[in-house]
């Protein structure tokens, strides 16, 4: 309660730019957004950076992933990597609004959010939720689409070791079957357009596993929208 009040208060007060520390500015100042958050050409299916004019990366041409569209606001590198770390582990839910704004400004994100009936955050394991006190994906989803965010439809069926601790090939194995639609609620997914939200996308294994589960429940269209993509 106090935390929420504090966050609302700091959102209303002039703040310091989280990147360059200029003051008073929004949490992300205009100059830093212009300098570090320019859109880059990315694969439409997995948001991997690709050369200009290429629609899809080689891997997605070979095997179409379960996401219809995948969008990343920024690359997980300086200054975003540090910032996301502070956001996630330093419990700064007050930054959610600024980071969600960055995601919304990504090309094609706005129409995807408008067209979606449901915006689903990637669920956090119970243990990590306890550690951090909040699910950053849910905070972002709430800011992106108040009224469409639902944190109860997509659930974690089992806890998995942190993806970041695993080598690439092990990641898909690690999350296989880790996500599912909440029992008895498949009807709410059937025929729907969805946006799946996460903060960081690494190999995409978690997003794809979740998308497969939603697809199996009859989702009509799935867009992945992440704040930062590792490549």
* Residues near Zn ion, by CB under 5 A: 17, 19-20, 29, 32, 43, 45-46, 48, 57, 60
Residue number with CB closer to Zn ion (29 or 166):
29
CB of 135 to Zn ion, least distance (A): 26
CB of 88 to Zn ion, least distance (A): 20
Helical packing angle, 168-175 and 205-216, nearest 10°: 30
How far is it, in rounded angstroms, from Cα 139 to Cα 143?
Answer: 6
Residue number with CB closer to Zn ion (25 or 160):
25
CB of 168 to Zn ion, least distance (A): 15
CB of 72 to Zn ion, least distance (A): 11
Residue number with CB closer to Zn ion (17 or 207):
17
How far is it, in rounded angstroms, from Cα 181 to Cα 23?
Answer: 44
Helical packing angle, 136-144 and 96-104, nearest 10°: 60
Residue number with CB closer to Zn ion (48 or 175):
48
How far is it, in rounded angstroms, from Cα 174 to Cα 190?
Answer: 27
Residue number with CB closer to Zn ion (27 or 140):
27
DSSP H or E segment with residue 144? helix 136-144
8-state DSSP, 15 = B
CB of 49 to Zn ion, least distance (A): 10
Q: Measuring CA to CA, which residue among 27, 7, 32, 9 is closest to residue 17?
A: 27
Burial 169-196 (b: 16+ CB within 10 A, else e): eebbebbeebbbbbeeebebbeebbbbb
Residue number with CB closer to Zn ion (3 or 21):
21
Contacts of 51 (CB under 8 A, 6+ apart): 41
Residue number with CB closer to Zn ion (46 or 144):
46
**Contact at 8 Å (CB) between 120 and 196?**
yes
CB of 70 to Zn ion, least distance (A): 7
CB of 35 to Zn ion, least distance (A): 8
């Amino acid at each position: 309660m106090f935390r929420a009040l504090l966050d609302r208060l700091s959102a209303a007060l002039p703040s310091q730019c989280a990147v360059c520390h200029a003051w008073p500015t929004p949490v992300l100042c205009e100059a830093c957004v212009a300098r570090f958050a320019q859109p880059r050409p990315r694969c439409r299916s997995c948001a991997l950076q690709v050369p200009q004019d290429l629609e899809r990366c080689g891997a997605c041409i070979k095997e179409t992933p379960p996401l219809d569209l995948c969008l990343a606001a920024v690359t997980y590198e300086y200054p975003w990597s540090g910032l996301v770390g502070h956001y996630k582990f330093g419990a700064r839910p007050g930054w959610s609004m600024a980071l969600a704004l960055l995601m919304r400004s990504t090309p094609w994100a706005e129409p995807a959010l408008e067209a979606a009936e449901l915006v689903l955050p990637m669920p956090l394991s119970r243990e990590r939720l306890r550690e951090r006190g909040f699910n950053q994906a849910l905070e972002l989803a709430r800011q992106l689409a108040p009224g469409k965010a639902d944190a109860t439809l997509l659930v974690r069926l089992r806890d998995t070791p942190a993806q970041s601790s695993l080598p690439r090939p092990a990641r898909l194995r690690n999350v296989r079957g880790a996500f599912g639609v909440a029992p008895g609620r498949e009807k709410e997914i059937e025929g729907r357009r969805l946006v799946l939200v996460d903060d960081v996308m690494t190999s995409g294994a978690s997003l794809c596993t979740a998308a497969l589960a939603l697809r199996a429940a009859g989702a009509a269209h799935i867009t992945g929208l992440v704040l930062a993509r590792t490549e």
